[in-house]
Structure 1
Amino acid sequence: MFIGSFVSHVELVWTVPECVAFMERLGTFCRVLLFDKAGVGVSDPVPRVRTLDDRAAEIEAVMDAAGFGRAVLFGGSESGPSSIFFAATRPERTRALILTGTFAYFGFTGWGDLDCDPSKLREHLVPEMGADYTPSVAQLARWQSWARAAGSAWGSGEATKALLPSVRLTRQLGMVERMSASPGMARVALEAAFRLDVRTILPTITVPTLVIHARDEIIPVQEGRYLADHIPGARILEVDGKDHVPWLSDPDTILTEVEEFLTGSHAAPALTRRALRTVMFTDIVASTNQAAAIGDERWRALLHRFNEITDDLTQRFGGTIVETTGDGHLITFDGPTQAIRCAEALRDGAASVGLQIRAGIHTANANWARRPSAE
């Protein structure tokens, strides 16, 4: 049972190649169930702050509907505490617990804390959490900045950009925010997170527990260490990364550890490593002449818009931009089909802003049908 945060949409997740690859790998040794919590994504809005009892009841209802008698709970972000609560109150239905990028105690008592001096806030938290587990002043300031954006600028992409710094398209992140929750629902979710405190529950957990945390993500790694040290028998996996989701912060390491944790062994190689690689080079036709004709300012604006189009389409077709060369890009794909479709979409995208591009596509696997170029 993958229990995500309030930035969730069960349809949109399948347009994110990294998430798809992550879930497919999980699916090689598990049956995977994703759902949108009440008030999130395609689920109905809720009129009030959800309690831990409410969230646990939602998890149980989804399990019943899917025929899951006992499940591994994979809880991330603010869904970690509800997963912990479920495991503590329903151990007979919990096979194991995996916690990623989450916490036992948010540390804020309300919206007023977001404007507090972070050094004063840390002084308040040290007696409650202990010096080893209390975030630094810089970490608290970063957390406050994110929470302010989530509470006041939801829909702009600013809040999710802080969660996922490796994703470059703020506009696309704004769309994800708007599809996941309304501004009101985002505030309700944050208010619920402010009230969460499952510290006293941690010693009662009896199921095997794995804690995963990226060292430089928005939720301080000290929170993950606190969980691992206070849940009996829990082990922790710290990975390098700044992103708040496991499919962007060292997913191969995480998936290998999860598979070994659940099955006692792991298969190799991982699905996220593929032999077939395709490279696409693009450039704008007659770019020098166009720049001279329309002037530097308009040309820079046009290039900026086309770079946004290229970023968007590259992500849509599962590619990675390796390098940008003024009026061109070097992009890699897992196979030629995605590259050709991306090139065709880029051609149309360029035409929509009055540009024409050339795209050369090369693949290392001769068994695939090759198309040297698409214009």
Structure 2
Amino acid sequence: MRTIALERTVLAYEDVGPDRGVPLLLVHGHPFDRSMWEPQLRRFGADRRVIVPDLRGYGASGGAVPDWAAFTDDLAALLDGLRVPRAVVVGLSMGGQIALELWARHPARVAGLLLADTTAAGETAESRDARIAQAQRLLREGMDPYAVESLYLMVALDAPPAVTEHVLTMMRSTDPGGAAAAQRARAHRPDRRADLAAVAVPTVVVVGSEDTFTPVADARAIADGVPGAELVVVDGAAHMPNLERPEAFDAALQRLLDRVGYAVGDLSEVDGATP
């Protein structure tokens, strides 16, 4: 594990693999940490640079985000600090929402997108209230009740026992304060559905066939909205196909990397946010 001091926080991260081709940036979901990407770190870290941070308030990264944009701005600052002009950005669940937000706010940093088990839609009044209520519950009760009751929504009932235990451990180990701040921030994130048609980088959308948090219909809506996007439905997986069915997930990611190719962008192209 490494750490990097940014302007507003300190992030823990892994940075492995040869500096060859376009690097990968893997963005974990809620309430997880960078260890959810262990299969992909092993698979792809042998061939190219793979950067895997703990988001602010998760894993070994302390603090708590003040708003939704802080997640993406942290990632852009991390890339700056590591002198990475562009990356293929992979995100699952909340991480997928952050990956899409990174493209929206810092488009020149994104060479390709893999959006897994996520949605581009903003919150409804009902879901916004539910996120805020969940934040209050996490602060009041800690992570364990949420972790236990949501475990078999995160993974399928027949997921490998080691995967089930890993997911449960990640959820139980998350700092309730960091997770609560993230839920409050997510409650006010922008709706990105109208922006999908402007995504001009190679994109793959992955979803577990048994995902009830963000079902296949949500994934199909993103794939239909992004020009040329590939939709991959992973049979038998729930919300975490990268852990439940890593072979299928990795094959989809490899196809994305093949599409992106090995052209690395120039730092001079980096800009701030989209209008």
The TM-score, its normalising length taken from structure 2, stands at: 0.70
C-alpha displacement at 1:160, in angstroms? 4.5
- For 2:170 and 2:205, locate their aligned partners in 1 and report how far apart those are by CA, in whole Å: 26
Determine whether 1:33 maps to 2:39: no
- For 2:200 and 2:74, locate their aligned partners in 1 and report how far apart those are by CA, in whole Å: 22
Deviations 1:280-308 (A, max 9, x none): xxxxxxxxxxxxxxxxxxxxxxxxxxxxx
- For 1:57 and 1:45, locate their aligned partners in 2 and report how far apart those are by CA, in whole Å: 15
The higher relative CO (CA closer than 8 Å, separation ≥ 6) is in: 2
- Structure 1 unaligned residues grouped into runs of 5+: 115-142, 266-375
Deviations 1:304-339 (A, max 9, x none): xxxxxxxxxxxxxxxxxxxxxxxxxxxxxxxxxxxx
C-alpha displacement at 1:225, in angstroms? 0.7
- For 1:155 and 1:97, locate their aligned partners in 2 and report how far apart those are by CA, in whole Å: 32
- The answer to whether the 8 Å contact 1:9/1:179 transfers is no
What SS does structure 2 have at the residue aligned with 1:244?
Answer: coil
What SS does structure 2 have at the residue aligned with 1:30?
Answer: coil
Letter paired with 1:155: D
**What is the match of residue 4 of structure 1?**
28
C-alpha displacement at 1:149, in angstroms? 8.2
- The answer to whether the 8 Å contact 1:81/1:104 transfers is yes
- For 2:30 and 2:237, locate their aligned partners in 1 and report how far apart those are by CA, in whole Å: 19
**What is the match of residue 62 of structure 2?**
44
The structure with the largest alpha-carbon Rg is 1
Deviations 1:207-259 (A, max 9, x none): 11111111111321111111111112212111113332233332212212221
- The answer to whether the 8 Å contact 2:128/2:187 transfers is no
2:148 aligned to 118, 134, 158, which one?
Answer: 158
- For 2:41 and 2:243, locate their aligned partners in 1 and report how far apart those are by CA, in whole Å: 12
**What is the match of residue 98 of structure 1?**
114
Determine whether 1:177 maps to 2:167: no
**What is the match of residue 188 of structure 2?**
195
- For 1:223 and 1:148, locate their aligned partners in 2 and report how far apart those are by CA, in whole Å: 27
- The answer to whether the 8 Å contact 1:110/1:191 transfers is no
In structure 2, relative to structure 1, the CA distance for the partners of 1:232 and 1:43 (3 Å cut) is same
In structure 2, relative to structure 1, the CA distance for the partners of 1:174 and 1:75 (3 Å cut) is closer
**What is the match of residue 231 of structure 1?**
226
- The answer to whether the 8 Å contact 2:64/2:182 transfers is no
In structure 2, relative to structure 1, the CA distance for the partners of 1:244 and 1:111 (3 Å cut) is closer
**What is the match of residue 77 of structure 2?**
61
Matches for 1:71-110 after TM superposition, within 5 Å: 71-105=87-121, 107-110=123-126
What SS does structure 2 have at the residue aligned with 1:242?
Answer: coil
Aligned length: 226
In structure 2, relative to structure 1, the CA distance for the partners of 1:67 and 1:47 (3 Å cut) is closer
Deviations 1:140-175 (A, max 9, x none): xxx9xx999868662233255131243658887554
Letter paired with 2:236: G
Letter paired with 1:32: V
- For 2:171 and 2:193, locate their aligned partners in 1 and report how far apart those are by CA, in whole Å: 30
RMSD: 3.1
**What is the match of residue 211 of structure 1?**
205
Matches for 1:333-372 after TM superposition, within 5 Å: none
- For 2:142 and 2:122, locate their aligned partners in 1 and report how far apart those are by CA, in whole Å: 20
Matches for 1:314-325 after TM superposition, within 5 Å: none
In structure 2, relative to structure 1, the CA distance for the partners of 1:33 and 1:246 (3 Å cut) is farther
Letter paired with 1:253: A
Residue identity (%): 24
- The answer to whether the 8 Å contact 2:210/2:239 transfers is no
- Structure 2 unaligned residues grouped into runs of 5+: 1-24, 261-275
Matches for 1:284-299 after TM superposition, within 5 Å: none
Return 210-219 or 253-262, whichever deviates more: 253-262
Matches for 1:269-308 after TM superposition, within 5 Å: none
2:39 aligned to 21, 31, 51, which one?
Answer: 21
- For 1:212 and 1:112, locate their aligned partners in 2 and report how far apart those are by CA, in whole Å: 25
- The answer to whether the 8 Å contact 2:91/2:114 transfers is yes
The TM-score, its normalising length taken from structure 1, stands at: 0.53
- For 1:153 and 1:41, locate their aligned partners in 2 and report how far apart those are by CA, in whole Å: 15
- For 2:124 and 2:180, locate their aligned partners in 1 and report how far apart those are by CA, in whole Å: 14
- The answer to whether the 8 Å contact 1:160/1:173 transfers is no
